[in-house]
Amino acid sequence: MSRSVGSLALPITISILADSLLSVVALSTVSRLSTTAVAATGLASYLFFLVNALATVFTGGLMVVASQAIGAGEEGTAGRATGETITLSLIASAAFMLTASLWLPHYLAAVSSGNREVAAMALDYAVARLFSLPALMLNVSLSAAYRSADKPWPSAYSSVISVAAGSLLIPALTLGGPGIQAMGLKGAGIAMTLASYAGLVAYAVWRPPLKIVVARPSLLSLKVIALGAPTALERLVASIAQNIYISAVAKAGTEALAAHNIGITVEMLVIQPSFAISLAALVRAGQNTGSDSVEEAERSLKESIKVGASWMGLAALLLSLISPYVGPLFTSDPEVARLVQVYLLLAAASEVGLGVSSAVYGAVRGMGSVWLPLAINSFTVVFFRAIPAQVLADMYGALGAWVTQNTDIYGRALLALLAWKLLGARRLARKVV
């Protein structure tokens, strides 16, 4: 791996991996309650795809602005952009929480395909987790600033602290313990929220690399939002499509939904470096664009593609090898365990495409061309995944729905490479500071 990209990708991988480990702790704990509880947490997790879409309105644009500003030697601009972004993101998280009672029950009822028991359990868990939104918004904003300034380790430390806190709190509040009453899924949600706030301690210990002042929004924050909006819209489209996709899986029953939750949680552990390489490529491409070094941005991208493809090839092999053994670790239901193996084998087939597309789109966003990934990814996730999943699920059950992750991922990878070949680095580079 290029040292330039690798120096960022390693701590980002640790950070994202730690976040996924927290989900595994929660899943492992909840699996001791019931299969329905596992299905409910999986259902609620798709709500947080929407939350992440909200977060990328701010952080997606912030990373582009901050990395290009730092590349151009304008650290003050990067610091101001971070402070204003924090203000806006905290306001947005408060609005999200205050209005949740108006839409959350209806949302969960819809994506559960009418499964009232699962939807009711998911509501208890989701309401408790929504209180983590201010911590989430503050964490992702600070992470974007630290990474853009070549200081990615504090955000990794933050994630590790969250995992440590969650590993203690989730079992205690969910299942109970000496002097602690078991609270079930609600307790799991509360514990996840407390773990999110615990992680913020890292930013008090490792001080920001920029002078960050929380301030009222200005034209600079509007630029951040304008650059982040396409990424957020992409996430929003993907979230809606993923909810259509998960509703197709839900047609096959509670066992299929539980297997999907187990499978995707384990898969997320294995594929984290692809997302880390995407973020590292974004930062490096942004810095190079800010300093007018477009050729260097292209070199970093090519190296990232090689690393993404080779790592995800190993990830595919790993998922295939562990697929028979994962299900029994999380469930005693043999049918759920069998379906977990099927899911992981189909997921393994898609991973190389994910590595390639993640690298290309990360660099393209960092160069300022934020609309291209939106156009391609939105097209493939809707027409190559969500819609086919609904059709194929009626014919082949969960298997039919799961196959569409391959058509989606390889469709976006091929289109990404084609776009890069046709447009090239110079046409894609757009300075924003």
User: What does the pLDDT read at residue 350?
Assistant: 95
Query: Which range (124-138, 182-196, 231-245, 362-376) has the least confidence?
Result: 231-245
Total domain count, the chain:
1
Q: How far is CA 361 from CA 117, 174, 212, 248, 369, in A?
A: 40, 39, 28, 28, 9
Q: Are 266 and 38 in contact (CB under 8 A)?
A: no
Pairwise CA distance, residues 295 & 16, whole Å = 29
Q: Which residues contact 318 (CB under 8 A, 6 or more apart)?
A: 270
Pairwise CA distance, residues 328 & 228, whole Å = 41
Average pLDDT, the chain: 90
Q: Which residue carries 């480990």 as its tokens?
A: 21
- With respect to residue 359, please indicate whether it lies within any of the assigned structural domains: yes
Q: Are 262 and 38 in contact (CB under 8 A)?
A: yes
User: What does the pLDDT read at residue 2?
Assistant: 45
- With respect to residue 261, please indicate whether it lies within any of the assigned structural domains: yes
What residue spans of 131-253 are helical by DSSP H? 133-148, 153-175, 184-198, 201-205, 219-250
Percent of the chain whose pLDDT exceeds 90: 58
- The count of residues in the chain is 433
pLDDT in tens, 408-419: 999 999 999 999
Domain of residue 303 covers: 3-428
User: What does the pLDDT read at residue 216?
Assistant: 85
Burial of 108 from C-beta contacts in 10 A (0-12 / 13-18 / 19+)? buried
Q: Which helix (H) or strand (E) holds 84?
A: helix 75-111
In three-state form (DSSP H/G/I as H, E/B as E, the rest C), the secondary structure along 243-312 is HHHHHHHHCCCHHHHHHHHHHHHHHHHHCHHHHHHHHHHHHHHHHHHHCCCHHHHHHHHHHHHHHHHHHH
User: What does the pLDDT read at residue 148?
Assistant: 93
pLDDT > 60? residue 292? yes
The alpha carbons of the chain give a radius of gyration, in whole angstroms, of 21
User: What does the pLDDT read at residue 42?
Assistant: 80
User: What does the pLDDT read at residue 154?
Assistant: 96
Counting other chains too, the contacts that 332-337 makes at CB distance below 8 Å and 24 or more residues apart are 333/35, 333/255, 333/258, 335/255, 336/35, 336/255, 336/258, 336/259, 336/262, 337/259
pLDDT > 60? residue 23? yes
- With respect to residue 433, please indicate whether it lies within any of the assigned structural domains: no
- With respect to residue 292, please indicate whether it lies within any of the assigned structural domains: yes
User: What does the pLDDT read at residue 7?
Assistant: 78
User: What does the pLDDT read at residue 76?
Assistant: 92
Pairwise CA distance, residues 391 & 406, whole Å = 16
pLDDT > 70? residue 398? yes
pLDDT in tens, 111-170: 787 788 888 899 999 999 999 999 999 999 999 999 999 999 999 999 999 999 999 999
Pairwise CA distance, residues 221 & 83, whole Å = 9
Burial of 102 from C-beta contacts in 10 A (0-12 / 13-18 / 19+)? exposed
pLDDT > 90? residue 6? no
Token duo for residue 152? 């990615």
pLDDT in tens, 315-357: 999 999 999 999 998 888 999 999 999 999 999 999 999 999 9
pLDDT in tens, 30-88: 989 998 888 888 888 778 877 877 788 888 899 999 999 999 999 999 999 999 999 99
> How confident is the model over 385-405, as a mean pLDDT?
94
What is the separation, in whole angstroms, between the first and last Cα of the chain? 29
- With respect to residue 56, please indicate whether it lies within any of the assigned structural domains: yes
Counting other chains too, the contacts that 114-118 makes at CB distance below 8 Å and 24 or more residues apart are 115/39, 115/250, 115/254, 117/36, 118/36, 118/39, 118/40, 118/43, 118/254, 118/257
- At 180 the three-state DSSP class reads strand
Percent of the chain whose pLDDT exceeds 70: 99
pLDDT in tens, 109-123: 887 877 888 888 999
- With respect to residue 195, please indicate whether it lies within any of the assigned structural domains: yes
Token duo for residue 131? 């209180």
